[in-house]
Chain A
Amino acid sequence: MRLKTSLFSHELAKQNFRQVGWISLIYMVSLFFFVVMNVILNIGNVEEYYYELWRNELFHLGAGFQLIFLFLIPVLMAIFILRYLHQKDASDFMHSLPISRTKLFVHHVGFGFIALWLPILLTGLILFIIANVSNVAHIYTLSNLAYWILMSLLILSITFSVSIVVGMLTGISIIQGIFTFIFLFFPAGFTLLLIFNMNFALIGIPESFYLGELDKFSPITDVAQLTVEEYASPLKVMVYILGTIIMLGLGLFLYKKRPVEAATQPIAFQVLKPIFIYSFTFCFTLIGGFYYGIIQTDIRWILFGYGLFSLIGYLISQVIVQKTWRVFHQWREYLYFCIGAIIFMVLIVFDITGFENRIPKLEEIETAYLITDTYMFNNRESFYGNLNGFTDPTDIEKVQALHRQFIDQSRRADFLDHNRWDITVRYKLKNGKDFVREYHMLDLPERFPIYTELINSTTYKLYTEPIFLIDQQLASSLRFSTIGSYKELTITDRDQIVEFIELLRQDVLEEPKYARETMTYIDIHMVDQADLGRYIYVEDERIINWLKQNKLYEQAMITVNDIDRMILSDSASYEEILYAQNHNFDQKDFKTLLVTDEEAMQDILDQTQMGYVEDDTYIVALYLKQRLDPIIIYVDSVLVPDFVTEYFN
């Protein structure tokens, strides 16, 4: 008698192959068409791809289908590989055989992994061979290819293993499919719903601070970033791998506990039924609040949304659990849910933890920040490391005072107002923790003078403007370009660059809040740091003088010498001006002023700006020498020279 103790059974593998081999084959064929064929067709097509070198082209072959398949194929695979668990006769048969559950699990799941990975690895091999025999550098490099293989495998694996766990929790294949996607999306979706809904009641929730990272909570939302950016942090790779391993462990654990008779039952474990009903109803309730919060922005509608959606969610969950439409006599759990939900809401509305009124004490605070754009703030923090906020006790007290005003003057309804300003107050505490609150205020600058004072302070600019955060020694070049690339100038002299950046910093510090943009944009190219760029402002006296001193002004800026003529109007739009120009100013609908005198043009040019400010603005069509199309700039009516005002009145 042979002893059968090995974990491998030839016949089981054969059965698996007959069961799911076709999925693998379909995936292989589609990858061939999505990826390999597209690569082959574009081998000679260098120019078209030249401008898209910045992103990983491999993931974008196949017009998005490749990304959809990254999620669809593993779920299909999991459904079919666990199909025997969801059919009564197959389930009885498989579990009557002399195979332990561990072995069944290892066989099925292991086969699923091989069947998922093989198409990727084979495609990778083909792409590797193509890269070696012909020039495809404009589509992918070998490191692109390695990244493509790695990320594809990771996403397939985590999706497959989540679907295996879901398959263990249910006895119906279609539920396995649907709930896999719900589970994958759950961490991001639930966080969003919870935080959004809590905002209706609790003032100060640092929503942007949490939600900024939200897309990383789910592979489905993360995939956009993973496939566009040519980078996944080692931490993220570890999370995907660990997540897969944990899911597989959980899957095996559940399999050993799973009753075989759960086949065709919507929920395999008895204990999960109430948990499912309550959490499903809760999520639907939150969706109701979210939906009405966005479309109605009225607290009464939101309450209505809670009621309606909790009812819908409850009935759906009952329909799923009972596997019947006749659930309208089951109200006991809904009653419990409503009681629980009301208690929960009351606890939040009355803020029993004192969340709203808490402000850290001065002696606890190390640094305080006022943040108007959390996304950019977080970006700067991850680019440049720790940012220097307000550390001076007088400044911190100002932040605290402002914080107190926010607490006192915030209204719950402000969150629902589309005209709100979002403002985050963040303290870094001496115990190493972060204390963050976010407020949504109307007319922020007008109502809070301390706010205006703080954001115009040097400290604020030092942690907000990237120019102060870069290492000037790492700047490799300065590039000046005027609008329409009429003039371009690049400086690569290291000393000049450093000198320029230091002057620019002084200008930025003294810049008023509403500065006027000139027509010149500077790009500072960095080595090993993110490049940065900004317009030169009329108020940037130091750098403008520096340009003049170094005889670079004419090369970098548009001066009156470049201008052929100007056409001003107080009422016409850009299109109207163009039309008028094409028809030799025959229009009577509006008045235009043609200026060709150099001195007059200089007077106007001194007062113009790129950005459109107020309604009371003159539009200036600027015709550069040897250019057909005008540049459109603006002059504030307050600043416009007298002869213009006289002409139009």
Chain B
Amino acid sequence: MKIVELKDRIERGETTAVKAVTECLERVAAAEEGEEKINAVITLNREQALKQAREIDEKIKRGEKPGMLGGVPVAVKDVLCTKNVKTTAASRILSDFMPTYDATCVSNLKQEGAIIVAKTNCDEFAHGASGENSAYGSTKNPLDISRVAGGSSSGSGAIVAYGGAAGALGTDTGGSVRVPASFMGLTGLKPTYGRVSRKGLIAMCSSTDTVAPIANNVEDAALLLTAISSKDSCDATSSGFRGKDFSLDLLKGLKGLKIAYPKEVFGPGLEGEVKQVFLDNLERLRGQGAKVEKISLEFLGEPAVAVYYILVPSEISSNLARFDGICFGERVKEAESLKEMYVKTRTEYLGDEVKRRIMLGNYSLSAGYYDAYYNKAQKVRRLIREEVKRVFTDYDLVITPTTIGPAFKLGQKADPLSMYLVDMYLTYASLAGIPAVSLNGGWVKNKEEGRALAGLEGNENRRRPGKLPVGIQLMANWWDEETLLRGAYGLEKLVNLA
């Protein structure tokens, strides 16, 4: 059910917030306690959620407006702070961390009446593209439990895919909602950098971090973005404003849109069937009167991935210096000196990928390598920005596949570089700061099919036997989420009919 329909039904008294939350909690129990154990959830917020739901129902009974998400159960990635609800960032170093405040995006959600049912699993500190780097175990893909959910917002995607929440907040620093969206047939919406406040987001890469919705469809994603956008004096980069409605242009149609596809996407790596899905979608857009043309984006693909994996670890090495055992989180007790305590605490409580990125960052920033790596990457980043400016003077949207293939098997990509290349088409928008969305583009053959979570049958836009979904990415100009979502909504309708 669409979020907007659920909200209307609650408001009209056809169902209640308590019932909606209870149903979600039941689905979470079935998915997490059953033998499939999807592992989408780190902390279940049962008591608080039911209490909030009762309050919403009371409000409605009194005839008060419950907010644009009144009574809607949502999940929140565990890198976003929630007041007095454990927030771990999927790391052992924060295994008992209890924030004293809500992240701004979370308090915006609550103000609109949304109910937080769960804190979701993810790659540790959001470092990953598969959901396998969590200290609390990998998230499995509910469509095929032998496969990854995609990351880093793996649990936020999986819980929406199995109906444990009507929508979710993830974060997207270089593809972290777009990959799970692609691997589970969902919509992942990375807003323009600065659209949503990051106060209360445990920082990874400050120059590309965004808070980003994951939803069942484009309209829901637009609604969630409308609810969380705001300017915030506690995040100096936030420039969005509250109350902007991102669903206004959804129905404007595809006719007249000028859409570019970069020839670079046909480079090595793109799987044949995914390429076919992509080409099918170009035809769908043409069929509805959009102008679709081939262009070149010189830096899309490997150059943008290289820039990203220089800059992001560099910022991580600085942002994660705060995890030293002093102000919050875990601390190793057996240490003689302060320095020994720092080293032992970080060595004991941080995971391998986190250590890898911290070290890579310190390498790129260290004397002797700064110019060759960090400074070079910052220069190419400017070239990317200039390329983006040029393309959007001529076109409204850019379209690419989201990922080179569908969800891969758990444990398949053991080599870190092969994992980094999952972000092939995704880091580009992050480095430029432009908005991007991944929606389901179609289905490809599932070559070695594993079991699916029970209960997903019967909805062929959710799961098709023998098939796996793959995403299509759209990108738009800075601050032009309206056109982005208009294109995505129009294309989604055509994909669902196919």
Whether chains A and B associate is: no
Q: Which residues of A contact B (CB under 8 A)?
A: none
